Chain A
């Protein structure tokens, strides 16, 4: 259900720009933002990783210590960290009904090939494991994960718990900073046929996305607020995971709308990389893979 009038005003004035952008489709606001912390950064073991700013050093440290480096490269969400870093673009334009009108994809380029090459190189490492849930990791040295796992990460790493923004990586002599998606959690409302019921729903959603509730949520489960008033709170400001995330968010692109098929396609690409399909591929072969990827992405917007 679309949010109009006073409620739309409330959304756009009390939450940070990224959150408002995420709640907008076309020119209509359709949800109430609840968090601004749906992005990812890196948790790592202080005693294993000496320099968390360079991907190559991190991986080398993990290999030396016999620990694992975890990143879910077969997820369309984490995969973009590589491609957005080298300057590629992948977004969709959608109208107010949610229908995808146009795809803006530039993966089939030299930048894309560089990103794909780095992904392949990473997957070849003996300490690379595909995954992003620290509960499923058996011996992690570092993991690309989000704030929802901060409690579990503290348990696993104990006193060696540390957070950092995503590192940089080097390919073909050039250095890039990992980018990726900055995400937000939103509260949506089911379409109503009865006006009174609709008003009740809207009031409830407004309350649940207010500063008071967002702060309470942070205190209980650690979700980073999107409400600007809540963000100014001192406890929020000093949270380690949230500050690492905030640092990383500067390099990310707010996550927009993507068709379901895109996520499946990205998983397919990631799975192929993990299956060593492109291990000895030349740059031309990688380019043709990306061209196919791009063409399929574009076919989803019709």
Chain B
């Protein structure tokens, strides 16, 4: 059963759900008594009439708040969404000093407009719950069952509905601080919000797919070739960063773990210390170490090993290789730590029996250690890979994505990842629209890779094969 048929099954489910809901609403209306019918208009009425005070008051309050919000705030922003503002800001020079008169603010219109749309959706959902509760009241009355009281409602919050209580605050947080901004930025990708169109001084408006066309356009001023260059390096980097660290870290862990090596704890501690030191400190120092006039070049010149300083950071290829190596330096301790923990749990008798059968070290590694490690850390590899796709710190603190070139537009450099390019577009160029488009592209890349790997993963998780 592939993902495609699952998706279409999901969509079918959704539609049939909506159909069922509409039907149920209709039934509630026709079969309900006058209190239920009034509840369609005044939320919470039915509950109040049946002495479910807590529920009734809550629903009534929701309705009043919603109406108040829409009238005083939401409606005007919602109305502005199609145009994103029509009155521009201007400067009134008629008085002693110039005074700025502010017009529409496209940013706020978009932001609050989206918020209002969500509020409306939430309200519709709550209204639906209100209707369903009235239906429940009708059914209970018909069956002669007792209606749940307010006290029982409160208790259920810490019992059956405890999970909902727990999830309320996190969900709210995620909605306001993640979902809303993401939808906002996705919308920005379809506008022309950049340095020339910045509220409150100027308006921005919808431009459809123009930005996407720009991203893929080949040509001197287009973003196309730059995008693919950066994308290519991002994938290469993520691959090396993940797998090099993984295998080398494992190798180091095995090396330290070998019998006959003393001071195991010392070696591990030394390596682990590098994790705890903040990256912005160590990376900056390492950056300066490899500068043209830095320590490494200085000593290499002094010892006569080279004639001219090696341009580590100004040559694109050197810079890329150096970044990968430095990332290995940072990443091995993490991997080693993890691998050590796992290795210590592999049953010794597995190795013993293998040794009796005449296997040498390498064979034992391939047949026992590696599959076991992959089994346990498979998911970690995936998250590590997608994490490295977005590994801002290492790249930015080391090279800020430089060196730049005339071949790359938009301020991109040869060591830029998509994410550092996005950051530069946002902060330096205030080119929010292209940044939004690139953000969406990053998401697409991450999603595609994750999906692909999830398909492969189950086969790695084959426990029987492991034995």
Task: Check A-B contact in the complex, CB < 8 A.
Answer: yes
Q: A: which residues have CB within 8 A of B?
A: 1-2, 4-5, 68, 74, 99, 126, 129-130, 136-139, 191-195, 198-199, 202, 260-261, 264-265, 267-269, 271-272, 274-277, 289, 292-293, 295-296, 299
Of A68, A195, A269, which contacts B406 at CB under 8 A?
A: A269
> Is B408 engaged at the interface, CB distance under 8 Å to the other chain?
yes
- A138 lies within 8 A of B293 (CB): yes
Query: Which residues of chain B (230-270) have a CB below 8 Å from chain A?
Result: none
- Chain A residue numbers with a CB within 8 Å of B293 are 68, 129, 137-139
> What CA separation (Å) do A92 and B56 show in the bound complex?
67
Residues of B near A194 (CB, < 8 A) are 99
CB pair B220 A295 closer than 8 Å:
yes
A126, A191, A260, A292 — most chain B CB neighbours (10 Å): A191
- Which residue in A126, A195, A275, A299 is a CB contact (below 8 Å) of B309? A126
B428/A272 in contact, CB under 8 A: no
Q: Are the CB atoms of A268 and B406 closer together than 8 Å? A: yes
Show 8 residue pairs from A and B whose CB-CB distance is below 8 angstroms, ordered by the A residue: A1-B98, A5-B96, A191-B91, A198-B97, A267-B404, A272-B403, A295-B220, A296-B220
Task: Assess whether A193 is in contact with B100, with CB atoms less than 8 Å apart.
Answer: yes
Q: Are A271 and B402 in contact (CB under 8 A)?
A: yes
Across the A-B interface, give the 4 residue pairs with the lowest CB-CB distance, nearest first: A191-B100, A198-B97, A271-B403, A268-B404
When distances are taken between beta carbons in the complex, the residues of chain A under 8 Å from B91 are: 2, 191
Q: Do B99 and A292 touch (CB < 8 A)? A: no
Interface residues of B in 204-246 (CB under 8 A from A): 220-221
A268 touches B292 (CB 8 A): no
> Smallest distance from the beta carbon of A258 to chain B beta carbons, Å?
13
Residues of A within 8 A of B294 (CB): 138
Chain A binder among B61-69, B310-318, B390-398? B310-318
Q: Give the complex CA separation of A277 and B221 in angstroms.
A: 21
- Check B98 against A293 for contact (C-beta < 8 Å): no
Chain A residues with Cβ below 8 Å from B9 are none
Chain B residues within an 8 Å CB radius of A202: 97
Do the beta carbons of B404 and A274 come within 8 Å of each other? Answer: no
Question: Are the CB atoms of A193 and B315 closer together than 8 Å?
Answer: no
Rounded to whole angstroms, the CA-CA distance of A45 and B307 in the bound complex is 24
Question: How many Cβ-Cβ contacts under 8 Å join chain A to chain B?
Answer: 94
B160 CB, min distance to chain A CBs, angstroms = 55
Interchain nearest-CB distance for B88 vs A (Å) = 12
| Residues A289 and B406 in contact, CB atoms below 8 Å apart | yes
**A192–B220 CB distance below 8 A:** no
Shortest beta-carbon distance, B447 to chain A, in Å?
Answer: 30
Contacts of A265 in B (CB 8 A): 406
Q: Which of B96, B220, B298 is within 8 Å of A199, CB to CB? A: B96
For residue A125, which residue of chain B has the nearest CB?
Answer: B308
Query: Besides A1-B98, A199-B97, A274-B403, 20 other CB < 8 A contacts?
Result: A126-B307, A126-B308, A130-B292, A137-B293, A139-B293, A191-B100, A192-B97, A193-B101, A193-B102, A194-B99, A264-B428, A268-B405, A269-B406, A271-B413, A272-B406, A277-B405, A292-B220, A293-B406, A295-B220, A296-B220
Query: Could you tell me the distance between the alpha carbons of A261 and B425 in the complex, rounded to whole angstroms?
Result: 11
* A263 CB to nearest B CB, Å: 9
Q: Tell me the smallest distance from the CB of B407 to a CB of chain A, in Å.
A: 8
Q: Are B95 and A195 in contact (CB under 8 A)?
A: yes
Which residues 293-307 in B have Cβ within 8 Å of A in the complex? 293-294, 298, 307
Q: A264-B411, A271-B402 are in contact. Are A2 and B314 (CB under 8 A)?
A: no
Residues of A within 8 A of B407 (CB): 268, 272
B405 touches A271 (CB 8 A): yes
B429 at the interface (CB under 8 A from A): yes
Q: Distance in Å from the Cβ of B285 to the closest Cβ of chain A?
A: 13
Q: List, in ascending order, chain B residues with CB within 8 A of A292's CB.
A: 220, 406
Alpha-carbon separation in the docked complex, A239 to B168 (Å): 67
Partner of A274, one of B95, B221, B311, B408: B311
**Cross-chain contact B316 with A296 (CB below 8 angstroms):** no
Q: Decide if A275 touches B98 in the complex (CB within 8 Å).
A: no
Closest to B413 in A: A271
Q: Contacts of A195 on B, CB cut-off 8 Å?
A: 95-97, 99
B146 at the interface (CB under 8 A from A): no
The smallest C-beta distance from A67 to any residue of chain B, in angstroms, reads 10
CB distance from A272 to the nearest CB of B (A): 5
- Complex formed: what's the CA distance from A289 to B406 in Å? 9
B408 adjacent to A268 (CB under 8 Å) = yes
B98 / chain A contacts, CB cutoff of 8 Å: 1-2, 4, 191, 198
In the complex, A74→B97 CA distance in Å? Answer: 41
Residues of B within 8 A of A136 (CB): 288
With most chain B CB atoms within 10 A of its CB, the pick from A4, A138, A194 is A138
Q: How close is A229's CB to chain B, nearest CB, in angstroms? A: 26
Query: In angstroms, how far is the closest chain B Cβ from the Cβ of A202?
Result: 7
Contact of B195 among A137, A260, A264, A267 (CB under 8 A): A260
Pair A192/B404 contact, Cβ less than 8 Å? no
Q: Which residues of A contact B413 (CB under 8 A)?
A: 271
Q: In whole angstroms, how far apart are the Cα atoms of A216 and B102 in the complex?
A: 38
Whether A260 pairs with B316 at a CB distance below 8 angstroms is no
Interface membership of B151, Cβ < 8 A: no
Determine whether the beta carbon of B405 is less than 8 Å from that of A272. yes
Q: Which residue of A lies closest to B96 (CB)?
A: A195
Residues of A within 8 A of B196 (CB): 99
Chain A CB within 10 A, most for which of B101, B102, B288, B405: B405
In the bound complex, CA of A120 to CA of B404 (Å)? 16
List of B residues within 8 angstroms of A139 by Cβ: 293
